Amino acid sequence: MHRAAFECLGLASWSYSKIAVRRGALPDRWKELAATHVGINVTAPHKEVAARLVDELTPAAAVAGSVNTVVFSSEGSIGATTDGPGFLKALARAGIPNPRRALVLGTGGAARAIGAALLERGTTVTISGRNASAGKLVVAALSAAGSGQVAFAPMAAAALAPLLAGADLLVNATTAGSLSSPDESPLPPGLAPSRGNVVFDAVYLPQMTPLLKLANDSGCVTVFGLEMLVEQAALSFALWTGLEAPLEVMRRAAQMALFSEEALLP
């Protein structure tokens, strides 16, 4: 996406590449990255660590407690999260009005950013995850920000069934259904989305995840994770370059790459 955007806008000296950083090693690599890069994207499991390493956090990143975009300059580093805003843009692009009640599955940086963004829109949010301690910490942090009504629910069918029945929106912000667990739904066994749910899966590879298959079978409106990926990437691009991202160029590049990757899946 970014390479296509650089080419489109004539930024011939810019490049974008993947940097492997083992878990726990980001602090040791930080000075090197700051000295050699205009900016970076940060993926799991480094998002919360990056939020502690930057010199300054944007307000949204401070609430989310995670960073997926860093801008380096001679004055220091700024950490931002484009996950939440990118999620909202993808939701709006799908023609979904502001939901009243949302159930967000996950307790990591993406779940926290999405929860914070929804709360800012006035949505009542329930966070659910297998790690109850982590989930309660996310809820405490979002509550402390004073953005709106947020609660935690255990990842159990008995707890989630009534929440699904009353929710406008179900969001998967876990890795369930991704290449690391391609046959796994983030919901407990035997539980499926309710017909009235809009189902948004942040997983983008594969595009049709187990959760989205369940949602289609239930007659739900679905939103693919690729849309969030493109929107948050465009926001990162603008932060690094100061230019408006060529969104459709980036979307086409992402779709082509995803099609190529899916063709290689077993």
Place of tokens 């000295």: 35
Q: How many CA atoms lie within 13 A of 21 on its CB side?
A: 22
d(CA 252, CA 255): 5
CB-hemisphere CA count at 13 Å for 232? Answer: 28
Measured CA to CA, the distance from residue 247 to residue 160 in angstroms comes to 36
Q: Which residue in this structure is represented by tokens 């391609």?
A: 182
The Cα 183–Cα 60 span in angstroms is 33
User: What single string gives the DSSP state of each residue in 70-125?
Assistant: EEEETTEEEEE--HHHHHHHHHHHTTPPPPSEEEEE--SHHHHHHHHHHHHTT-EE
Q: Which residues are catalytic?
A: 47
